[in-house]
Amino acid sequence: MKYVDQTCAWLIFVAGIAHIATTEILHPPRAVLDTGLLWAFVAMFNLLRIHNGYGMRRLRTFCIGANIAVLTLEVVRWRMFGLYGAVMAVLVLCETVFSIRQKH
């Protein structure tokens, strides 16, 4: 399951960087960098959690909160962006579940 957790976190990170790059290169109307930056930061927090486990104080709580905040954003944006938003929502939901469950 650790590999699925890492894969989800890396996919979120790559999607964030791709969103930032396409926004900067193509300059689509009404596009902003906040979504891509949010995805990249949440992915980095989850990769930190995967790498360090729960040894760091309050890392679990912080990751759960960040994942729920992004999941809420993706559910709200789902209708605007269709399938792409749904894929991101599923990836963030998986990361939320991985953050909540205890590792043994």
Handedness of CA 50, 54, 57, 63 (dihedral sign): positive
DSSP letter, residue 101: S
| Helix and strand numbers, DSSP H then E, in the chain | 4, 0
Domain holding 50, by residue range, is: 2-100
Q: How many domains does the chain have?
A: 1
Measure the CA–CA gap between 45 and 18, rounded to whole angstroms. 18
Question: Does pLDDT of 16 surpass 60?
Answer: yes
Interval 27-81: pLDDT, tens: 888 778 888 999 999 999 999 999 988 778 888 899 999 999 999 988 888 777 7
- Residue 104's pLDDT band, with cuts at 50, 70 and 90, is very low
